[in-house]
Amino acid sequence: MSSTHLRGQAAVITGGGKNLGALIAKTLAKQGVNIVIHYNSAGSKSETEATLKTVESYGVKAAVFQANLTTEASVEKLFSDARLLLGCPSSILPSIRFDDMFLVNSKCAFFFIKHAANNLNEGGTIISLVTSLLGAFAPGYSTYQGSKAPVEWFTKSAAKELQPKNIRVNCVAPGPMDIPFFYGQETEDAVAFHKSQSLTGRLTDIKDIAPLVEFLCKDKWITGQIIFCKSIYGITIKLCH
C-alpha cells in the first residue's frame, strides 16, 4: 500500500541494481519516490536494467548510472547527474584486500555522506548500510568489521552537524544476508556457523530490511543511530546520548 509521505521525493541508491539495493529501490518506487540506481560492475548491468524496468512500472522517474565510487570526483559526478535528472535528492542510501576494503567501505561512505549533505533538501535523510558484525565477536571478520566501523561515527557526527537543516542520518546494520554474493564469499562451514548463531536458524532475508529503510525515510525524528536488524550474534546494547 502506498502513501503520500514520500511521493515526489527522490532517492539515490548505491548498489541499487540487485539484492537488497534493488528491493529498496522497488519499495521506495511503490511509494512514489523517483529513483537513481547506481551500479559498479558491468556484470550487474542486466540485473540493474531489470530493476529499472520494475521501478519505472510504478510510474516514477528513474535512471541508471554506472560508476566506480572509489574517488570523491566520481561520487560528486553521481550527485551532479542525479540532480540534472531528478532535482535535489531527499533520501540517500548509501545496498578484497585490506586497502580496497577500507577504500570501498570507509572512504566511499565518507564522501557519499559529504556530497549527500551538500545536495539534500532540508528535511532529507541519509541512510548507510553497515553490518550487524559491528555488534558481534566473529572470527575472521576483523578487517571487514573494522572497515565498516567508521561509518557509524561518520553518521553520528553528520547527524549532529546537519541537524539545523533537519537532515536525519542513520545506519542500518543487517545480519548476513541470504543472497548469492554471501554464498560466493563463504565456505559451507561458515554459512552453517552464521545460521547457527541466529535465533531463527536462517540468514537475513532482504525483505526483512527494506521496510525498515522505508520507515526511516518517512520518520522525522530518529537520527544519529545505528539500528541492528538481526536475530543473530546475541544481544546488542548501544548507549545513545
Q: Quote the distance between the C-alpha of residue 106 and its chain's center.
A: 13
* C-beta of residue 120 within 8 angstroms of C-beta of residue 150: no
Question: C-alpha angle 124/126/128, rounded to 5°?
Answer: 165
Active-site residue, selected from the candidate residues 58, 144, 183, 233: 144
Q: Which three cell numbers stand for residue 114?
A: 559529504
Q: What distance in Å separates the CA atoms of residue 100 and residue 126, rounded to the nearest whole number?
A: 23
Buried b (16+ CB within 10 A) or exposed e, 184-194: eeeeeebbeeb
The reply to whether 144 belongs to the active site is yes
Q: Give the max Cα distance, the chain.
A: 48
Q: Quote the distance between the C-alpha of residue 175 and its chain's center.
A: 13
Q: Which residue has the cell 541512510?
A: 127
Q: What distance in Å separates the CA atoms of residue 199 and residue 178, rounded to the nearest whole number?
A: 15
Sheet containing 226-229: give its strands across: 62-66, 34-39, 10-13, 91-93, 125-129, 168-174, 226-229
* C-beta of residue 83 within 8 angstroms of C-beta of residue 56: no
Show which residues are catalytic. Answer: 144
